Structure 1
Amino acid sequence: MTAAVSTIRVLIADDEALVRAGIAAILGADPDIEVAAEAGNGADALTIARTTRLDALVLDIRMPGMSGLDVLRTLRSERCETPCLFLTTFGEDAYVAEALDVDADGFVLKSGDPRELIFGVRAVVGGGAFFSPAIARRILPRHLGASTSRTLDAKQAFASLSPREQDILRLVGRGLSNAEIAADLFLAQGTVKTHVSSILRRTAARNRVEAALIAVHAHEA
């Protein structure tokens, strides 16, 4: 059973006012999520993130001037570990790949199911990784090589893991946090953390998002 969730304070940053309003309405429909602040540009988002207690950032991956990528890159250089969920559109694959380099925690397609936004915020706040299925099918971690061999490479990486690590990686691919995986598999949370570290090392995944993508690509038909 999942423990009660305290209020999740979120910053929304998008240069389009109507998009921000839509995101705020979607997130506000969840009783556990509070839209603590909004920003219409990256500079304001950076200032808010530096001065406000937040549990998650929801940033447009591209904004005029300072982009969402610039905001997260700066925050990570300042050792800010607030989970970040990026909003993206089709055709922005290169930006998503760059976001992986700055330790993004998830990606939601703007044109996708609105529920993905809530699922994504909850997943990254819980320590998991999340990305819209449409993005998962398009984006390939650089360490997996060319797109024509991504499934084969992912399957080989997955097969190199122990059965227990494979079980855990499947759940990582579903966006579960360490606590949720521990509950699902009846393991201590510390044990799950140790396994996840081993999975990252053995698959050469740089972060949890890349590990989750390996799980997705390994099970493509």
Structure 2
Amino acid sequence: MKSSRTTLGIVDNDSFALRAMSAFLTKALPPEFEIVCLLSNPQQAIAQWSNQDAPDILLVDMSLGDIDGAHVIRKIREHNAKTVLLAVTSFPIQEYAQDTADAGAQGIVGKSDLSAMVTLIKQIVREKMMDYDGVHFDDARNAYFRLSHSGKSGIASLSPRENDIIELCSTGNTTSEVAKILEISEATVNTHLHRACEKLKARNRTHLVMLWMQAQRPRH
């Protein structure tokens, strides 16, 4: 988010909650944040924001009538690599954390915890990804890559972050060293390595690095 202005959109089929959340965030966030769109129709949100011209940050309620909020997040993320998608829920966060992370969200927050919502928005703008109770949330680019390349296999299925981590491992860096270089947690490093092992059917980290290095060799 390089622009001095950060735009936000909100999706919630409860019109009262939609207006209340908008009013609170308008007052609580610094002036460089601007709410530019409020939508109560989840299908309209999918159609309107499944492109690169969507707001910088999109808050999506998890209870949207006939459509699950995680479904809305996934559909937008499959076509949008830039917008930060944040899940909002009135239910216990742990009920939705893994589903929303898998769907391509960058974080989740309780609907009634408005101060935490403001904190999360500011944190995301500083490009600090969220980890919640063992659930890792990818950044927008890596989540998009993971979902849009889900049909691919082998090296082509690795996300940019997975490639970065394997490359660092290939030069002898430990988990803690990789975490420090990339400014992420060791748990996040291990999560990416686990996903990469599954994609390449590697037995362990050593096997994973070997397969990755073989794929980097020029073919004659």
What range is the shorter-chain TM-score in?
0.5 to 0.7
> For 1:8 and 1:120, how far apart are their aligned partners in 2?
14
Which residues of structure 1 form unaligned runs of 5+? 143-159, 169-191, 208-221
- Matched-pair contact (CA < 8 Å) for 1:42–1:65: no
User: How far is the alpha carbon of 1:122 from its aligned partner?
Assistant: 2.1
Selected match of 1:200 from 176, 188, 193: 188
- Matched-pair contact (CA < 8 Å) for 1:56–1:83: yes
User: Which structure 2 residues correspond to residues 41-120 of structure 1 after superposition, within 5 A?
Assistant: 41-50=41-50, 52-91=53-92, 93-112=94-113, 114-120=114-120
> For 1:94 and 1:34, how far apart are their aligned partners in 2?
30
Deviation sequence 1:26-68 (CA, Å, 0-9, x none): 2211212111101102112112313644101101022113332
The structure with the largest alpha-carbon Rg is: 2
User: How far is the alpha carbon of 1:95 from its aligned partner?
Assistant: 2.4
Which residues of structure 2 form unaligned runs of 5+? 137-173, 196-220
C-alpha RMSD of the superposition: 3.2
> For 1:53 and 1:104, how far apart are their aligned partners in 2?
15
Partner of 2:32: 32
SS of equivalent residue, structure 1 residue 90: coil
Partner of 2:176: 162
Partner of 1:8: 6
Question: Which amino acid in structure 1 is aligned with residue 12 of structure 2?
Answer: D
> For 2:70 and 2:98, how far apart are their aligned partners in 1?
11
Deviation sequence 1:133-184 (CA, Å, 0-9, x none): xxx4xx4439xxxxxxxxxxxxxxxxx843784xx5xxxxxxxxxxxxxxxx
Structure 1 residues 121 and 102, CA gap change in structure 2 (3 angstroms): same
- Give me the identity figure in percent: 20
Bigger relative contact order (CA 8 A; separation at least 6): 1
Deviation sequence 1:100-140 (CA, Å, 0-9, x none): 1122111111122x222222122223322247xxxx4xx44
TM-score normalised over the length of structure 1 = 0.58
User: Which structure 2 residues correspond to residues 123-162 of structure 1 after superposition, within 5 A?
Assistant: 123-130=123-130, 136=132, 139-141=133-135, 161-162=175-176
> For 1:108 and 1:206, how far apart are their aligned partners in 2?
26
- Matched-pair contact (CA < 8 Å) for 2:175–2:189: no
Structure 1 residues 164 and 97, CA gap change in structure 2 (3 angstroms): closer
